[in-house]
Amino acid sequence: MTEEKKKGWFQRLTQGLSRTSQNLTESVTQVFQQKESLDDAALEELEDLLVESDLGPQIAATIAGKMAQQKFNSAKDSNAVRAALAEALADELVGHEGTFEPLAGPRPYVVLFVGVNGSGKTTTLGKIAAKLVKSGAKVLIVAGDTFRAAAVEQLKVWAERAGADFMGRKTGADAAGLAYDSFIRAKAEGYDVVLIDTAGRLQNKQALMDELLKVVRVIKKVDPEAPHETLLVLDATVGRNALSQEQIFGRQAFVSGLVMTKLDGTARGGILIPIAKASDAPIKLIGVGEDIEDLHDFKARDFARSMVGLEPLGDKHDG
């Protein structure tokens, strides 16, 4: 990434997370305003504020504990408070950072997108397709949510916009059959990446999981190593509901990476931390807007600093 592009992205990230950071830092710096160090009551207040920021009780207690060990020179030191908070948040996240590198793997590289309707699956898939095509890759988009005509249409628009090829079937067609055929076609026609959308809602959760597992099974018939990546897309604005979605999909659908979307315009960006800690899969990508440029690799330290309204630390951390 060029310096300018990097700067642009960080600005978008910090801007996108501004409601989260306002929510988090204003209250936390206030706790430290009158005092150099925290007494028990202030520590409890800090913990409550962190819980309100969607961090959950355990993480809130850990972070409040770390903050309580610090000394700050009252109100003048709000940047130091922020920096310490960013460090404490980053400590929680660094072990949960993953990379999404479809062009570094086998060809064709098969990526499955799972998640409930409205989480941002289609948009995320479209953004990834656009970036891959731009970098010269041959990309096939597959409309695996065969239950909703609108979902197929939306994906087709993204495929056209991205310059990727598109494969879909009529409403109600067998999604697993489509996934299988698309993989065979991608192998025969030399595609680099196959991006497969899946249904986000069926008559019940079990039916949805059965459907996903069937898609995975038939893909494995073509190549046992595939799908090479199964990305679970989660909407940050739904707060703790995203946590339960992770639990449902993560336990059953062989999720290999998480994507957190809609981190812009929400005060609930803090939810990313309990999700990261609860999940066996790392966070790979984050979305802070609807444009192609608004999807990015997840970098724990940069994210933690943006969460408190600070710029990233520089090359050492922005990878």
Ligand X SMILES: Nc1nc2c(ncn2[C@@H]2O[C@H](COP(=O)(O)OP(=O)(O)OP(=O)(O)O)[C@@H](O)[C@H]2O)c(=O)[nH]1
Going by the annotation, the residues of the binding site are 115-122, 197-201, 261-264
Q: From 64-72, 86-94, 121-129, 208-216, give the range in contact with ligand X by CB under 6 A.
A: 121-129
Measured from the CB atom, the residue of 147 and 183 that comes closer to ligand X is 147
* Residue closer to ligand X (CB basis): 94 or 150: 150
Cβ of residue 294: shortest distance to ligand X, in angstroms? 6
- Distance (Å, whole) CA 138 – CA 110: 12
Distance CA 52, CA 7 (A): 30
Pairing of β 295-297 and β 283-287: antiparallel
User: For ligand X, which is the closer residue by CB, 238 or 288?
Assistant: 288
Distances in whole angstroms, Cα of residue 319 to Cα of each of 72, 300, 303: 30, 11, 13
* Residues of this chain, 100-119, that bind ligand X according to CB under 6 A: 115, 117-119
Binding mask 160-199 for ligand X (x = CB under 6 A): ----------------------------------------
248 near ligand X (CB under 6 A): no
Beta strands 257-261 and 139-142 are unpaired
Q: Which residues are annotated as a binding site for GTP?
A: 115-122, 197-201, 261-264
Would you call the peptide bond into 106 cis, given omega within 30 degrees of 0 as the criterion? no
Q: Describe the strand order of the beta sheet including 283-287 as a list of residue ranges.
A: 165-167, 139-142, 193-197, 109-114, 229-235, 257-261, 283-287, 295-297
Which of 45, 48, 181, 290 lies at the binding interface for ligand X (CB under 6 A)? Answer: 290
Question: Is residue 122 close enough to count as binding ligand X by CB under 6 A?
Answer: yes
Rounded Cα distance, 7 and 25, in Å: 22
Give residues 135-164 in contact with ligand X (rule: CB under 6 A): 145, 151, 154
Question: How many binding residues for ligand X (CB under 6 A)?
Answer: 21
By the 10 Å C-beta count (0-12 exposed, 13-18 middle, 19+ buried), 120 is classed as buried
Residue 261 lies near ligand X (rule: CB under 6 A): yes
Q: Does 131 bind ligand X (CB under 6 A)?
A: no
CB 69 within 8 A of CB 283: no
Residue from 120, 269, 274, 312 touching ligand X (CB under 6 A): that is: 120
The span from the CA of 32 to the CA of 37, in Å, is 7
Selected binder of ligand X within 108, 144, 200, 270 (CB under 6 A) = 200
Least distance between ligand X and beta carbon 201 (Å): 8
**Residues in contact with ligand X by the rule CB under 6 A:** 115, 117-123, 145, 151, 154, 200, 261-262, 264-265, 287-290, 294
